Amino acid sequence: MSDATQGVTTPAPAPVCFRHHDRISYVKCTRCARPICPDCMISASVGFQCPDCVHGASASAPKIKTPLGTPLAERPAVTYALIGINVIAFLLMLVSGIDQAATTWGMFPPSIAIDNEWWRLVTSAFLHGGWLHIAFNMYVLYALGPSLERVLGHSRYLVLYLMAALGGAVCSYAFSDVMTVSVGASGAIFGLMGALVVAGRKLRYDITQVLILLAVNFVIGFLAPGVDWRAHVGGLVVGAAVAAIFVLPPARIRIPVQVIGVITLLALLVIITAVRTQQIIDMVYSVGNPGLSA
């Protein structure tokens, strides 16, 4: 008796997804030709590709550079982190009492000069006097910050923000009434606006809206009672100066000029702070010893 199965070809097994072996798939990756199931299909210009090929292509793709030659910061992580810090600080102020927190951590010249509480020049920039105060500052930070962060990169953007915040606090410390208590991120916010004007002109961006926003808020700062316009001026000047240090130097000497420029600007702020501190100490000494006053 002849073998009934003789000459019959055994069918090849159905192809399965190379990542999910229990799923039959007749679709292949256009790059590596491996079978992929619907969960692994990533639409490409022609057909579908597997996740491995897509991720490999992304990793090998050249990084997008900003006009400054730095990698483009696709996600404004520093801006979001700064907003989070300001919001958390404000919530803590609500717990302890806004006035109490402002007195303890805000820019208060006698505490800085007499008690050596220099940290107030930094902490004051992360405190706010009310809901409207923080809402406006955080809105402007959210609106303007990402554009600058993408152009400057995370590190330079953070330096810009902190320097503008410090510049605003130092200007308030140097030129306000000695009994002034000042809080707010307005110095840093005005610094961002000043930086956008400088960087925008250099990179030939349309800065009309920024100029309008800056002009309106600058006028409001002078007209509205209780607003520390000195912090606005200080933040604006320092922010514009830092932006100029970052974007104006030619590429071949950009990094050393940036480092030296920021250190020089920081040293200038320290000198202004030291001069004002001595003025306050002399004032207290004169009041305590009237016979020695001129």
Could you give the CA distance from residue 181 to residue 242 in angstroms, rounded to a whole number? 26
Which listed residue (25, 111, 232, 293) is catalytic?
232
To the query of whether residue 55 is one of the catalytic residues in this protein, the response is no
**Angle in degrees, CA 279, 284, 287, rounded to 5:** 125
Is the Cβ–Cβ distance between 212 and 163 less than 8 Å? no
* Residue 153 Ramachandran class (φ > 0 left, ψ -120 to 50 alpha, else beta): left
Contacting residues for 129 by C-beta, under 8 A, at least 6 apart: 98, 102, 183, 184
Which listed residue (147, 182, 186, 293) is catalytic?
186
Q: For 65, phi and psi rounded to 5 degrees? A: -105, 150
DSSP string of 49-116, one letter each residue: E-HHHHHHHHHHSPPPB-TTSSBP-SS-HHHHHHHHHHHHHHHHHHHH-HHHHHHHHSB-HHHHHTS-
Nearest to 184 by CA among 117, 231, 250: 231
To the query of whether residue 182 is one of the catalytic residues in this protein, the response is no
Is the Cβ–Cβ distance between 168 and 176 less than 8 Å? no
Active site residues: 186, 232
